[in-house]
């Protein structure tokens, strides 16, 4: 029975053959891995040349396990082309704490599942506490100390994004690490208490640890010098999306989320058969995180170079500035993914709009297309189009 189930569940082995081109693989192979990336095994005929790898899966990242949760990261070490942004996928149990810390890079986050309590103070002593849930964001500038704690029945999982592709979560400035490496007589002098007050402080960093579940948010409120001038959290899903026939887009940059000075993002939803239109970004690289669904992306890198990649939930994509690309939903459920940029604002250029707003005689001289093609392009930008 088990052997029969194995035979039926084993991935179909696809061969690198397209028409008269290619040949079967007769050496070692990994059918399961190849099935995840069919457009690498048999590239579309338009693919050509050498384009760097633009895909990484968090499933291939090292998992750092701790009492209270786990974390795994995708940096320029894992995806060398992505030098502007790094990402961390983190899970906290109910009561699990990402200990009080700060970073050299700014931290932006998207809540994937569950509930968390975040706290911080700024350089002027303004205190911040908030409870965040699925679809909520937070942003802590570099050097701002903060913490995260899992709430509810199942804690939380979230995506952290840092405005430096070479950032590593392992280089975080941790409270416990600071205290363990400061002489106790200095701690005593700093806090105006006896040295014995620090007899039980941890001798190594906590990183993530289990703690009692906190009470209601109001019981955790500390006013300090008052509220932070710009809230460190934002309800992205409460933002009204731009709706199109093929899906919807929410764009959140510093024009809406005032505190987020170095990270801009778009949450893109594409229905089956639809696509994120052919476009490019005129300011910075794009870093992607796929939340659900299956996608295909072709990236045009100029000089006769183009390459196609496949993505599913938990994958990271990268598109260097200012390469043209599209993202197509190739599954039978809604595709949801984040486009993330190291910038204070979101900007893109639409291929269709460029052609629509250029004298049509000039466009026809280039492409030899009928006027009906150009007339059918809407005047307004359509980030998501139906199939």
pLDDT along the chain (387 residues), means of 10: 48 80 91 90 93 97 97 98 98 98 98 98 97 98 98 98 96 97 98 98 96 94 93 98 96 98 98 97 98 98 97 98 98 98 98 97 96 92 89
Do 271 and 338 sit in the same domain of this protein? yes
Examine residue 27 and state whether it is found in any structural domain, yes or no.
no
310 and 212 within one domain: no
Task: Tell me whether residue 4 is in a domain.
Answer: no
Domain of residue 153, CATH code: 2.60.120.10
Nearest to 228 by CA among 118, 109, 122, 145: 122
Given 215, 234, 253, the domain boundary residue is: 234
Shared-domain flag, residues 104 and 138: yes
**What is the CA 320 to chain-centroid distance, rounded?**
15
- 74 with 196, same domain? yes
265 is a domain residue: yes
β-sheet bridge partners, residue 197 = none
Of 234, 257, 291, the domain-final residue = 234
Question: Is 339 in the active site?
Answer: yes
How far is Cα 297 from Cα 216, in angstroms, rounded to an integer?
Answer: 44
Q: Give the DSSP letter of residue 225.
A: T
Phi and psi angles of residue 288, each rounded to the nearest 5 degrees, phi first = -120, 150
- CB burial of 333-345 (b: ≥16 within 10 Å; e: otherwise) equals ebbbbbbbbbbee
- Last residue of one domain, picked from the residues 188, 219, 234: 234
Q: Is the dihedral of CA 121, 125, 130, 132 positive or negative?
A: negative
pLDDT score of 1: 45
184 in the same domain as 250: no
Same domain (yes/no): 251, 196: no
Q: Peptide bond before 322: cis, by omega within 30 degrees of 0?
A: yes
pLDDT at 140: 98
Are both 76 and 224 inside the same structural domain? yes
266 and 250 in one domain? yes
Q: Are residues 257 and 180 in the same domain?
A: no
Q: How far apart are CA 331 and CA 308, in angstroms?
A: 16
What residue spans of 211-370 are helical by DSSP H? 351-356, 360-367
Position 24 in a domain: no
Residue 335: the pLDDT is 98
Same domain (yes/no): 196, 260: no
pLDDT of residue 14: 79
pLDDT of residue 5: 47
Active-site residue (options: 36, 269, 286, 339) = 339
> Is 13 within the bounds of a domain?
no
Q: Structurally, how many domains does the chain consist of?
A: 2
Residues of the domain holding 322 = 240-385
């Amino acid at each position: 029975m088990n052997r029969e189930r194995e035979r039926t569940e084993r991935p179909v082995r696809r061969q690198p053959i397209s028409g008269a081109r290619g040949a079967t693989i007769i050496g070692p192979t990994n059918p399961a891995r190849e099935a995840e990336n069919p457009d690498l095994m048999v590239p579309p005929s338009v693919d050509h040349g050498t384009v760097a790898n633009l895909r990484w899966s968090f499933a291939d990242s090292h998992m750092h396990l701790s009492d209270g949760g786990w974390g795994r990261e995708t940096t320029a070490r894992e995806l060398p082309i992505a030098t502007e942004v790094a990402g961390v996928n983190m899970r906290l149990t109910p009561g699990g704490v990402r200990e009080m810390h700060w970073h050299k890079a700014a931290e932006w986050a998207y809540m994937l599942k569950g509930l968390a309590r975040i706290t911080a103070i700024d350089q002027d002593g303004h205190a911040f506490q908030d409870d965040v849930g699925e679809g909520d964001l937070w942003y802590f500038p570099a050097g701002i100390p903060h913490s995260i704690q899992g709430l509810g029945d199942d804690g939380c999982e979230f995506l952290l994004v840092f405005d430096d592709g070479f950032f590593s979560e392992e280089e975080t400035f941790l409270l416990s690490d600071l205290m363990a490496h400061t002489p106790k007589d200095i701690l005593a002098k700093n806090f105006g208490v006896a040295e014995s007050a620090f007899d039980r402080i941890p001798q190594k960093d906590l990183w993530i640890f289990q703690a009692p579940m906190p009470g209601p948010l109001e019981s955790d409120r500390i006013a300090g010098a008052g509220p932070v001038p710009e809230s460190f959290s934002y309800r992205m899903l409460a933002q009204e999306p731009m709706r199109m026939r093929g899906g919807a887009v929410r764009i959140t940059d510093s024009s809406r989320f005032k505190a987020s000075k170095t990270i801009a993002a778009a949450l893109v939803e594409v229905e089956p058969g639809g696509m994120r239109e052919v476009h490019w970004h005129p300011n910075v690289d794009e870093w992607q995180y796929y939340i659900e669904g299956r996608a295909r992306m072709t990236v045009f890198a100029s000089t006769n170079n183009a390459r196609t990649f496949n993505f599913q939930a938990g994958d990271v994509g990268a598109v260097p500035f200012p390469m043209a690309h599209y993202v197509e939903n190739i599954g039978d459920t809604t595709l949801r993914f984040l486009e993330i940029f190291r910038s204070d604002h979101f900007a893109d250029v639409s291929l269709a709009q460029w052609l629509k707003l250029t004298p049509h005689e000039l466009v026809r001289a280039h492409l030899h297309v009928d006027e009906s093609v150009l007339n059918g392009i809407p005047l307004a930008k359509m980030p998501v189009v139906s199939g």
